[in-house]
């Protein structure tokens, strides 16, 4: 388990189980069936700011139930489909306000805001008046109890209020809301980075997020590719609405309102995720108290695929061999293999799991050339995918981008084996087919080097297929170097298109 230290006595487990199918796409969550979750979670008092374990079976939130003067943090467990009676987390709660908790998905830590003794103080307007700000605190789960909370190490806390903490999926960035004492209308969203045991370099989010419209309640999407938050900005349904801003390589896009499926004329704040459920808080009139916790099912999302004959355009019922990849870290990628058949209309719905950002499809249907395609799930944004299979004809060809080699080498990488094995199965089923295997490089480098490398890679593919029991005389290997590009110029996209292995039918 990889660990990130918060202080000498506090450690955050950075192994995170991502929750929710929102990991599928960079677009905002789509929901259905909004409901008040009712008792025992909601009460006649304020019930606010839910946060969940990765499996959705543990909830923490803050409440003023029982006639309490101040907010306390409560915990409940999902047992047999129902939430248990919430109990106060006594080790964390103080005699003042403790609220807007965030629990790390592994249940190891709770971050929360409090104006308890020890928070930053300032002189009030009247003589002898002392104002106490909300600061962010953290407590570690010790197994049988919670550790005594400490003020968050680093530079996050200030004389202003700091509330609504949440962490990025890798736990290395904290998002939170801050505003001047007593004026929530000036609230804005900050972030700070984890460095050497502290959260430092607090920075306001860009103007696309902070619109000077009481921007609050930040919550990163489970895949880290977006940020949910609440705002009073124009364009909403009324009151505080929940908005979504896509994030690409640290750049925040234009926020989108979640619409009337979530938002109402009242306030909607404190978004949260638990598995396939989206939670938020609202003071709409059907509640039990001033603020209640609501839940909505996350609508099933996927990528529609249609397969048809390239010539006749007739739909084809074929088997899809699908490999879906989840990048756990820079060094580790987990691949899941499955098969799915298109229906009589040639249609199938692909439903990547949480964190699966790349799909690779292989089709080896008798009478048709093999088909291979890599799908960048975030890039396609849920757009339907049309696949046209080409009948086997002399001089027909197809390109495969899913065959990869080590850098400047002809060694085939293991991730390419499933596609070469599928090609071998196709060739066993179509014994008369002979291929010319043509290696292509991108436009970088020396011509002679690219010619040699592309030939060696084509020969490596030929040798791999021959090692699978196929007659090597069915293949001819040729290196085209960079002389036959599919895309002009040098760029990441052009390079990806040009680096490929082409298979051309010599004899059918």
Last residue of a domain, one of 391, 425, 449: 391
Q: What is the pLDDT of residues 254-267, one digit of tens each?
A: 888 888 889 999 99
Residues 327 and 247 in one domain: no
Last residue of a domain, one of 266, 298, 330: 298
Q: Using 50, 70 and 90 to split pLDDT, how confident is the model at 12? A: very low
Tell me which residue range forms the domain holding 243: 3-16+44-298
Residues 355 and 444 in one domain: no
Looking at residue 363, which CATH number applies to its domain?
Answer: 2.60.40.1120
Euclidean distance between CA atoms 96 and 90, whole angstroms: 12
Residues 286 and 180 in one domain: yes
| Positions of E strands within 316-432 | 319-327, 333-341, 347-350, 356-363, 371-376, 385-389, 397-400
Closest C-alpha among 52, 22, 51 to residue 355: 22
Residue 357: the pLDDT is 77
In a domain, 293, yes or no: yes
Mean pLDDT of the chain: 86
361 and 371 Cβ atoms separated by less than 8 Å: yes
- Highest-scoring range by mean pLDDT, 53-57, 226-230, 234-238, 246-250: 226-230
Does the structure show a pLDDT above 90 at 227? yes
Name which residue leads in pLDDT, 154 or 225.
Answer: 154
In a domain, 31, yes or no: no
Provide the token pair at 423.
Answer: 């090609």
Mean pLDDT for 385-389 is 86
Residue 323: the pLDDT is 82
Those residues whose C-beta lies under 8 Å from the C-beta of residue 212, and which sit 6 or more positions away, are: 186, 188
Looking at residue 150, which CATH number applies to its domain?
Answer: 2.120.10.30
Closest C-alpha among 332, 330, 388, 321 to residue 361: 321
292 and 282 Cβ atoms separated by less than 8 Å: yes
Residues 288 and 203 in one domain: yes
Residue 203: the pLDDT is 96
In a domain, 437, yes or no: yes
C-alpha 367 chain-centroid distance: 39
Looking at residue 502, which CATH number applies to its domain?
Answer: 3.30.1330.60
Residues 191 and 58 in one domain: yes
Provide the token pair at 324.
Answer: 């879906």
Residue 337: the pLDDT is 81
Q: Using 50, 70 and 90 to split pLDDT, how confident is the model at 123? A: low
Sign of CA dihedral 368, 485, 386, 402: positive
Residues 506 and 485 in one domain: yes
Does the structure show a pLDDT above 50 at 1? no
Mean pLDDT for 382-390 is 79
Residue 45: the pLDDT is 93
**Domain total in the chain:** 3
C-alpha 116 chain-centroid distance: 35
Distances (CA, A) of 275 to 166, 383, 433: 17, 24, 48
Q: What is the pLDDT of residues 276-323, one digit of tens each?
A: 889 999 999 989 989 999 999 876 567 878 898 988 888 999 999 888
Query: Across the chain, which distance is largest between two alpha carbons, in Å?
Result: 97
Residues 417 and 307 in one domain: no
């Amino acid at each position: 388990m990889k660990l990130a230290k918060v202080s000498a006595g506090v450690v955050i487990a950075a192994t995170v189980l991502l929750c929710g199918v929102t990991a599928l796409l960079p677009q905002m969550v789509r929901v259905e069936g909004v409901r008040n979750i009712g008792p025992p979670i909601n009460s006649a008092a304020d019930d606010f700011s839910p946060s969940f374990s990765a499996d959705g079976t543990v909830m923490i939130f803050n409440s003023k139930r029982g006639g309490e003067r101040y907010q306390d943090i409560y915990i409940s467990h999902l047992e047999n489909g129902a939430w248990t009676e919430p109990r106060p987390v006594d080790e964390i709660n103080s005699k003042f306000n403790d609220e807007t908790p965030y629990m790390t998905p592994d249940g190891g830590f709770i971050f929360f805001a409090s104006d308890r003794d020890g928070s930053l103080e300032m002189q009030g307007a009247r003589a002898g008046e002392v104002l106490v700000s909300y600061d962010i605190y953290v407590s570690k789960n010790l197994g049988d109890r919670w550790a005594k909370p400490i003020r968050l190490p680093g530079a996050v806390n200030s004389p202003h209020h700091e509330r609504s903490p949440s962490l990025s999926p890798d736990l290395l960035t904290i998002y939170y809301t801050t505003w001047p004492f007593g004026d929530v209308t000036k609230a804005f969203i900050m972030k700070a980075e984890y460095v050497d045991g502290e959260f430092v370099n607090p920075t306001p989010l860009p103007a696309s997020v902070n619109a000077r419209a009481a921007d609050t309640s930040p919550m990163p999407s489970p895949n880290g590719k977006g940020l949910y938050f609440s705002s009073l900005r124009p364009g909403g349904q009324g009151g505080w609405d929940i908005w979504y801003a896509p994030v690409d390589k640290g750049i925040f896009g234009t926020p989108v309102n979640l619409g009337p499926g979530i938002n109402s004329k009242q306030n909607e704040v404190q978004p949260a995720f638990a598995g396939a459920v989206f939670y938020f808080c609202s003071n709409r009139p059907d509640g039990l108290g001033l603020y209640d916790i609501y839940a909505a099912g996350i609508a099933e999302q996927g990528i529609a695929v249609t397969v048809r004959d390239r010539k006749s355009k007739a739909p084809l019922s074929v088997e899809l061999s699908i490999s879906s990849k989840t990048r756990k870290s820079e060094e580790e990628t987990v691949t899941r293999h499955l098969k799915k058949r298109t229906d009589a209309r040639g249609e199938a719905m692909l439903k990547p799991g949480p964190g699966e950002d790349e799909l690779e499809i292989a089709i080896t249907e008798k009478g048709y050339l093999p088909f291979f395609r890599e799908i960048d799930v975030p890039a396609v944004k849920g757009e339907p995918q049309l696949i046209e299979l080409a009948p086997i004809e002399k001089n027909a060809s197809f390109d495969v981008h899913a065959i990869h080699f080590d850098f400047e080498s002809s060694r085939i990488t293991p991730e390419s084996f499933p596609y070469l094995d599928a090609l071998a199965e196709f060739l066993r089923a179509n014994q008369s087919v002979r291929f010319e295997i043509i290696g292509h490089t991108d436009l970088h480098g020396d011509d002679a080097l690219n010619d040699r490398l592309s030939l060696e890679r084509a020969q490596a593919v030929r040798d791999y297929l021959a090692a699978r029991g196929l007659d090597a005389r069915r293949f001819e290997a040729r290196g085209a170097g960079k002389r036959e590009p599919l895309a002009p110029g040098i760029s990441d996209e052009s390079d990806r298109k040009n680096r490929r292995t082409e298979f051309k039918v010599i004899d059918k």
